[in-house]
Structure 1
Amino acid sequence: MRLWSLNAAILDRAALVACWREALLAQKVLAGGTRGYTRHPQLERFRSAADPLAAVGHFLGCLQSEATARGYRFDASRIAVVDAASPAIPVTDGQLAYELEHLRRKITARDADWLSRLPRVATAAETFTVIPGAIEAWERP
């Protein structure tokens, strides 16, 4: 499961689609709708939010907005909590830098034309607030 902390605008098609699919799974896990993935480390940050379903709903809403801007049709009716306010989940600048390099490696292998769209410095998805620090403890490098 890769729930990118990066702004969805820099994700290539494959990363955006996979993140949407995996965030829907995260939503199902947080709602208690499945027994799988319940201990996945990337869910820790959503569980730490005051309202985990609203937090993942905000995240999904941002992904859906980016998909719509690109002409994709992600079904917004699948988002359990819509129009949720940003939970401002903290993410470290070290985590963002790690994810940007991880994305860069993936894109190099599958869509080299997209490389020119990647920024030199990572920006966070709207769901997150950047704080100083190393790679997050939940990350499994």
Structure 2
Amino acid sequence: MRLWSLDPAQLDRAALVSGWREGLLAQAVLLGRTKGYTRHPQLVRFRELDDPAVGVATWLLGLADEADRRGYRFDRSRVVPQADTTLRMTVAEDQLQLEWRHLIAKCERRSPGWAVDLKTQDPRAHPIFAVVSGPVADWERAAS
């Protein structure tokens, strides 16, 4: 499961689509609708919110907005709780950089043209996140 901190516009097709699917799984976990993945480290930052399911719903809508821009059809009715478009979380700069390198490495294998384009950009955060100075998150399991 990878719930990207990166701007959905920077995700290649595979990362956007799998992010949507994995975000829906995260939503099910946080709503107690599945027994699997309950200890998944990617959920830590959402569990720190007053309403974790609203946090994931808001994150999911960021992906759905990008899917709309690309002409994809993500079923927004699957986002269960009401999203809070004013909700903001933080992501550390080092975490964002780690995810950026991770995404580029994945894209070099599956979407080489996308990787070339990413290398001309700077990483941007998903709209739910404000970038702050700091290290890679304690919950991160990807190799540094």
CA RMSD for the aligned pairs?
Answer: 1.2
Identify the residue that residue 21 of structure 1 maps to in structure 2.
21
SS in 1 for 2:103: helix
Matches within 5 A, 1:22-101: 22-101=22-101
Identify the residue that residue 134 of structure 1 maps to in structure 2.
135
Q: How far did residue 132 of structure 1 move?
A: 0.6
Report the count of equivalent residues.
141
SS in 1 for 2:105: helix
CA distance in 2, matches of 1:12, 1:61: 17
Question: TM-score normalised to the size of structure 1?
Answer: 0.95
CA distance in 1, matches of 2:21, 2:102: 19
Identify the residue that residue 109 of structure 1 maps to in structure 2.
109
- Which piece of structure 1 moves more, 130-139 or 119-128? 119-128
Q: How far did residue 82 of structure 1 move?
A: 3.4
Q: How far did residue 83 of structure 1 move?
A: 4.0
Amino acid corresponding to residue 74 of structure 2 in structure 1: F
Task: Give 5+ residue unaligned stretches, structure 2.
Answer: none
Amino acid corresponding to residue 122 of structure 1 in structure 2: P
Task: Give 5+ residue unaligned stretches, structure 1.
Answer: none
Q: Percent identity?
A: 48
CA distance in 1, matches of 2:86, 2:138: 22
